Structure 1
Amino acid sequence: MTTGLEAEIAELEIRLHHARSRLGASEASSNASLPQPSTLGKDETPCPCPLPTNASLHALLLLSDSALPLGSFAFSSGLESYLAHQKLQASGSTPASSASGIPSFFAFLQLSLSTLAGTALPYVLAGYRHPERIEELDNDFDASTPCTVARRASVAQGRALLTVWERSYRAEYMHVHMDDCMDKQAEQRAADVLSAFSKQIRTSDEVHAHLAPLWGVVTRALAVPLQDAAYLFLFSHARTITSAAVRASVMGPYQAQAVLAGSDLQRRIGGLVQDGWDTRIEDAGQSVPVMDLWVGRHEKLYSRIFNS
């Protein structure tokens, strides 16, 4: 009797083993025919490297925002005066009309970018590389800017940038994003320089706070790569002039965006950054002297829509 039960149990175990084997094979076949959850909806293309750090990319987006409160909206950088001083066309139309003003705009944009690259870009680069020299750079830039209107506009925007840093960026950026920075000591040193410089502005009349050197120090504190900081400085100037052209009825907003997106502007700005990469502040200077005349005579216009 016992032997019969043992034989029956052995037979049942064999059948159970075969049944489990068939079940395992069936499940494997079913799973192979379905997309795997780990790869469903994923792109197999590897992420390109290197990527900018979260801190530098975020700061670059902040500084490139047209809503950055620097007061640039109030300035035409000499465009309004330039258009007003152009001779009337043979057809009798004014140079500010959309038909005849566009060639004048493109000519002015090229000259204005050359001027900024020759006079201000070296101070941006020096401010980034040597934040501790901000007071010296600020004083030298003020002394080398003979045009009163241009000097006043530079100070107004520089102080606005410093205010944005103090009120908006410093507390948030230094504590939240500093872990992503490649050189924490350099960024912290630049931030300390900005704090000390901000105090000097409130206590001394000898400090001016021009935009160019401050742009270099602020972008260093925000961990923006130097080449990106220089490119954005010139691009922001081009955007300001293009925006002024729209408000002066020289071109429409879509045409203005086409100008900013154009490869010609990209090559122009990239070339200016490359040419001025090693320019010392001692070699900085006005490459288009007539630009100072156009900017300076803005206050003499009978009517105007911009501060400068």
Structure 2
Amino acid sequence: MIPGSPASRSQLAMMLTLADSRLPVGGHVHSGGVEQAVADRVVVDAESLARFLRLRVTTSGLVAASIAAAVTDGTLDVVAAEQETDARTPSAAARRASLAQGRGMLRLARRMWPEEDWAAHVPQTHLPVICGAIGRVSRLSGFHTALILAYTTMSGSATAGQRLLALDPADVAVIIADLGAECERVAAAAAVELADLSDPMLDVFAERHERREMPLFMS
């Protein structure tokens, strides 16, 4: 096989690639609401960060994971998935953040699978929708694609919290490890059916953050 060709990529390698914060999806510049939560003194230390992460992964993380799983399994086509994502994302600021990250992930998909037709994701695509499409192309299961979304939803915000609060990286690593079982439970539920819940506090954080002057993170 030609190194780097689609045929030479294992499912495990694709899972690791999608979970990498260095991807052009730009996950490292999105805090997922943590920046605003820190500014509003809702997140002030490792303990409150852990609570925030659990809330995020079990609400918006579950919703995103369920959409990604449905696209991967073929339950939803791209058009329907985009509509379902919009309907399940009350905050306009959160929708814009998802579309911004979706553009980055689409860029990666076009580079890695130039033979695939990505026209359905143009001119814009939500992050869970394009992730689900990549999961399908990579022959991942809906559960594994959902697990990636749940994990990155949690770990990206955890890293942002570490930076903003100058936390001990070891403490944050322990938080991430402790939430691993929660991510698996979320992924298992997401693989069964679409989730349709949200948390008003996270929506408020998204809207308030977009109005901040000179934020460190894009969301």
Change in 2 beyond 3 A, CA 1:67/1:291: same
Tell me which residue corresponds to 1:82.
Answer: 37
Distance 1:118 1:222 in 2: 21
Q: Which has the larger radius of gyration?
A: 1
Tell me which residue corresponds to 1:197.
Answer: 120
Given that 1:74 and 1:307 are in contact with CA atoms closer than 8 Å, whether structure 2 keeps it comes out as yes
Secondary structure of 1:65's aligned partner = coil
Once the 2 structures are TM-superposed, how far is the Cα of residue 71 of structure 1 from its aligned partner? 1.0
Distance 2:31 2:61 in 1: 17
Give deviations 1:33-82, integer Å, cap 9, x for gaps: xxxxxxxxxxxxxxxxxxxx962122122212221111111111001111
Unaligned stretches of 5+ residues in structure 2:
1-7
How do 1:130-149 residues align onto structure 2 when only pairs under 5 Å count?
Answer: 130=74, 133-149=77-93
Change in 2 beyond 3 A, CA 1:214/1:131: farther
Distance 2:110 2:151 in 1: 24
Aligned pair 1:221/2:137, yes or no? yes
Aligned pair 1:62/2:17, yes or no? yes
Change in 2 beyond 3 A, CA 1:255/1:62: same
Q: Which has the higher contact order (CA 8 A, sep 6+)?
A: 2
The amino acid of 1:271's aligned partner reads R
Aligned pair 1:273/2:217, yes or no? no
Distance 2:170 2:130 in 1: 32
Distance 1:136 1:225 in 2: 19
Once the 2 structures are TM-superposed, how far is the Cα of residue 306 of structure 1 from its aligned partner? 1.2
Tell me which residue corresponds to 2:197.
Answer: 285
Distance 2:21 2:218 in 1: 18
Give deviations 1:69-104, integer Å, cap 9, x for gaps: 1111111100111122127xxxxxxx64xxxx2222
Given that 1:55 and 1:223 are in contact with CA atoms closer than 8 Å, whether structure 2 keeps it comes out as no
Unaligned stretches of 5+ residues in structure 1:
1-52, 88-94, 175-190, 203-207
Aligned pair 1:73/2:16, yes or no? no
Given that 2:33 and 2:206 are in contact with CA atoms closer than 8 Å, whether structure 1 keeps it comes out as yes
Instruction: Give the structure-2-normalised TM-score.
Output: 0.86
Once the 2 structures are TM-superposed, how far is the Cα of residue 274 of structure 1 from its aligned partner? 2.1
Once the 2 structures are TM-superposed, how far is the Cα of residue 125 of structure 1 from its aligned partner? 1.4
Change in 2 beyond 3 A, CA 1:257/1:103: closer
Once the 2 structures are TM-superposed, how far is the Cα of residue 143 of structure 1 from its aligned partner? 3.4
Given that 2:146 and 2:187 are in contact with CA atoms closer than 8 Å, whether structure 1 keeps it comes out as yes
Given that 2:22 and 2:28 are in contact with CA atoms closer than 8 Å, whether structure 1 keeps it comes out as no
Given that 1:120 and 1:284 are in contact with CA atoms closer than 8 Å, whether structure 2 keeps it comes out as no
Q: How many pairs were matched up?
A: 212
Change in 2 beyond 3 A, CA 1:273/1:82: same
How do 1:7-18 residues align onto structure 2 when only pairs under 5 Å count?
Answer: none
Given that 1:116 and 1:234 are in contact with CA atoms closer than 8 Å, whether structure 2 keeps it comes out as no
Give deviations 1:241-285, integer Å, cap 9, x for gaps: 11101210241223222222x2x31211111122333223xx523
Identical residues among aligned pairs (%):
25
Once the 2 structures are TM-superposed, how far is the Cα of residue 112 of structure 1 from its aligned partner? 0.7
Distance 2:75 2:107 in 1: 17
Tell me which residue corresponds to 1:237.
Answer: 153
2:58 to 114, 126, 135: 114
The amino acid of 2:89's aligned partner reads T
Distance 1:116 1:211 in 2: 12
